[in-house]
């Protein structure tokens, strides 16, 4: 059990270091990956996250650990090869959260069938020794057998291939735990307000505020790394108010439906939607996740909202493929995420054509910024970033150690029919907790599998500080069933208040704050917001 993962204790520990080797701004996949790379090379590492770990894009992905079949179609072989390699490492290193998943591309033209079969053979070859399974071409009858809700009119057959599926924000939490276990200080609800500089205008640290207490701190560091995703430009402007925007946010939304829409174990990949993108229908935590879209935006926010037309687009596309008709009333949750894409050089450049590989920028002040990439390649992005910091002479040389590094909880042997499998090696500890206090074995909601014990666990051992921290990123109810999440908010608030020693007023405020956020995940509310914005 990880008793070190305690915010108060970490703030105490923070005072023991006068100069950090590395300060990471941002606690998404990229920042946490960098903190992990840094601490395991032996550097004194501090990570500051303004909200919660994975509050941004890193909890809002399509849940794929993948090479990117669509990048293959674009001929981006190196990007695919790199991601397939990282996919294999992720399965080894976080085996409790990453699993092999079969995808079927239903084909309606023989030519398409042929092309996808060949393309996916190349995908297999590129994955080399870290293959997730051989792709195969299947007949119409077998396609229908595997995908019971697939429309069969004009269906020719299917192409099966394998990729990975994961729980994104739980991996982020487990990465934060691993960082702490290795000696780093990583803090959520701690926002960077400004960059500190010396008389030569070189970065020497950051000024940050503890959002819980309002207390501000100054931290000195040899290297400061900006890993803030769609917030990259905000930090770059702290460095140089005249800096050009490097990021253009592109929104992608997902709808979550009941499992009956995708009852089997296979996922569906629609290779070409009306706007030339791919659409995934993926079985996830006993529900079906459908997405995504690609909508260029002019602004970013921590809580982006799905637009009416994006919701309609996914429903319309899904209904072309599924026999069970999807309506807005079927949507259990809708969530939106923002891709931190490199800003197009000219207005004609479409987002899907912009490179999705990562980029490291070194500012004149010495600030190191990492942008782009994807969840699957977080480890390589981190390795490249720390290598760059070493190359700049800000850190003594040390080799990367994360290729075979197990993430907290890694244990792939648990039975996945028990939803608690995602806790991996912590599973036993949660069971012990329930044995000691049987009331913790109660479900939070009659229609949900999640238990009271999971909330307690999230607060005690996973640094959850708010209802949203619990229900969005640790116990993923908000993403799976937003209405149920709102219904259980008071129960969760009670457990939090008890554990954190808070009063009734705090509890009430928590419930009201959570409901405000959770409404964005309800389709009526998000449609309303879209209309009124």
Query: How many helices and strands in the chain, by DSSP H and E?
Result: 17, 18
User: Is 248 an interacting residue with respect to ligand FAD (CB under 6 A)?
Assistant: no
Cβ neighbours of residue 208 under 8 Å, at least 6 residues apart? 48, 190, 191, 192, 193, 216, 217, 219
Binder to ligand FAD among 7, 41, 44, 55 (CB under 6 A)?
55
DSSP assignment of 71-109 equals HHHTT-HHHHHHHHHHHHHHHHHTTTTEEEEEEEEEESS
Instruction: Give the one residue of 88, 229, 271, 424 binding ligand FAD; rule: CB under 6 A.
Output: 229
Tokens of 359: 């980029």
Contacts of 277 (CB under 8 A, 6+ apart): 70, 292, 293, 294, 352
Does the protein bind ligand FAD through residue 25 (CB under 6 A)?
A: yes
Using CB under 6 A as the binding rule, whether residue 164 contacts ligand FAD is answered as no
Q: How far is the CB of 119 from ligand FAD (least distance, A)?
A: 19
CB 436 within 8 A of CB 428: no
Say how far apart CA 326 and CA 282 lie, in whole Å: 15
Distance between CA atoms of residues 466 and 30, nearest Å? 23
Please select the residue that binds ligand FAD; options are 48, 69, 278, 395, rule is CB under 6 A: 48
Q: Which residue has the tokens 């040389």?
A: 397
Instruction: Determine, following the binding rule CB under 6 A, whether residue 26 of this chain makes contact with ligand FAD.
Output: yes
Among 228-236, 257-265, 347-355, 475-483, the segment contacting ligand FAD (CB under 6 A)? 228-236
**What would the two tokens of residue 218 be?**
């100054």
Q: Binders of ligand FAD: how many residues, by CB under 6 A?
A: 40
23 within 8 A of 205, measured Cβ to Cβ:
yes
Interface pattern 313-352 for ligand FAD (x via CB under 6 A): ------------------------xxxx------------
Q: Going residue by residue from 65 to 94, which x/- string records binding to ligand FAD, judged by CB under 6 A?
A: -x----------------------------
Contact 360, 385 (CB under 8 A): yes
Contact pick of 40, 45, 62, 95 for ligand FAD (by CB under 6 A): 62
SS3 54: coil
Q: How many residues does the chain have?
A: 533
Options 373, 422, 430, 496; binder of ligand FAD; rule CB under 6 A: 373
The correct pick among 67, 88, 106, 252 for binding ligand FAD (CB under 6 A) is 252
| C-alpha closest to that of 445 among 437, 454, 436 | 454
Residue (306 or 434) nearer to ligand FAD, CB: 306
Rounded alpha-carbon distances, angstroms, from residue 510 to 60, 190, 491, 526: 22, 18, 11, 21
Select 30 or 93, whichever has its Cβ closest to ligand FAD: 30
Rank residues 62 and 222 by Cβ distance to ligand FAD and give the closer one: 62
Residue from 27, 88, 205, 271 binding ligand FAD (CB under 6 A): 27
Peptide bond into 441 cis (omega under 30): no
Binding characters for ligand FAD, 291-310, by CB under 6 A (x = yes): -x---------x--------
Contact between 49 and ligand FAD per CB under 6 A: yes
Stretch of residues binding ligand FAD (CB under 6 A), selected from 55-63, 113-121, 322-330, 415-423 = 55-63
Give me the least distance between CB of 251 and ligand FAD, in Å please. 7
Cβ atoms of residues 224 and 368 within 8 Å: yes
Q: How far is the CB of 111 from ligand FAD (least distance, A)?
A: 28
> Which residues make up the interface to ligand FAD (CB under 6 A)?
25-31, 48-51, 54-58, 60-64, 66, 191-192, 227-231, 252, 292, 302, 337-340, 373-376
């Amino acid at each position: 059990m990880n008793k070190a993962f305690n915010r108060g204790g970490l703030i105490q520990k923070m005072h023991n270091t006068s100069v950090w080797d590395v300060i990471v701004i941002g606690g998404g996949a990229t920042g946490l990956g960098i903190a992990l790379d840094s601490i395991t090379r032996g550097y004194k590492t501090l990570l500051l996250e303004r909200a919660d770990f994975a509050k941004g894009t890193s909890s809002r992905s399509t849940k794929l650990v993948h090479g990117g079949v669509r990048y293959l179609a674009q001929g981006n072989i190196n990007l695919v090869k790199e991601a397939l390699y990282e996919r294999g490492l992720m399965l080894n290193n976080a085996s409790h959260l990453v699993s092999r998943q079969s995808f079927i591309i239903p084909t309606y033209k023989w030519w398409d069938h042929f092309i996808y079969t060949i393309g996916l053979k190349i995908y297999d070859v590129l994955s080399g020794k870290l293959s997730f399974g051989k792709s195969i071409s299947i007949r119409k009858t077998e396609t229908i057998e595997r995908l019971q809700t697939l429309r069969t009119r004009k269906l020719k057959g299917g192409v099966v291939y394998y990729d990975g599926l994961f729980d994104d924000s739980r991996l982020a939490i487990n990465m934060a735990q691993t960082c702490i276990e290795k000696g780093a200080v990583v803090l959520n609800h701690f926002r960077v307000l400004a960059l500190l500089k010396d008389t030569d205008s070189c970065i020497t640290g950051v000024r940050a505020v503890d959002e819980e207490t309002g207390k501000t701190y100054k931290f000195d560091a040899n290297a400061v790394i900006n890993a803030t995703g769609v917030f990259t430009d905000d930090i770059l402007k702290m460095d140089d108010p005249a800096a050009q925007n490097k990021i253009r946010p592109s929104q992608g939304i997902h709808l979550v439906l009941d499992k009956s829409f995708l009852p089997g174990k296979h996922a569906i990949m629609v290779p070409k939607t009306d706007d030339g993108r791919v659409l995934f229908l993926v079985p996830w935590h006993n529900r079906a996740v459908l997405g995504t879209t690609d909508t260029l935006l002019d602004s970013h926010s921590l809580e982006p909202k799905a637009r009416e037309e994006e919701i309609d687009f996914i429903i319309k596309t899904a209904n072309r493929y599924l026999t069970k008709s999807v309506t807005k009333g079927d949507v259990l949750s809708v969530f939106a995420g923002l891709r931190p894409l490199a800003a197009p050089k000219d207005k004609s450049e479409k987002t899907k054509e912009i490179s999705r590989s990562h980029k490291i920028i070194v500012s004149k002040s010495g600030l190191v910024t990492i942008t782009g990439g994807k969840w699957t390649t977080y480890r390589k992005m981190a390795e490249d970033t720390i290598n760059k910091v070493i190359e700049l002479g800000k850190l003594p040389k040390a080799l990367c150690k994360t290729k075979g590094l197990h993430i907290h909880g890694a244990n792939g042997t648990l039975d996945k029919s028990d939803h608690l499998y995602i806790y991996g090696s912590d599973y036993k500890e949660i069971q012990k907790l329930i044995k000691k206090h049987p009331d913790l074995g109660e479900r939070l909601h009659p229609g949900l599998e999640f238990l009271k014990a999971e909330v307690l666990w999230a607060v005690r051992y996973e640094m959850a500080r708010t209802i949203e921290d619990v229900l969005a990123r640790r116990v993923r109810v908000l993403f799976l069933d937003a209405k149920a999440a709102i219904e259980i908010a008071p129960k969760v608030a009670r457990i939090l208040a008890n554990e954190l020693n808070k009063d009734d007023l705090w509890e009430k405020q928590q419930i009201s704050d959570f409901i405000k956020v959770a409404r964005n995940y309800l389709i009526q509310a998000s449609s309303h917001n879209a209309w009124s914005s």
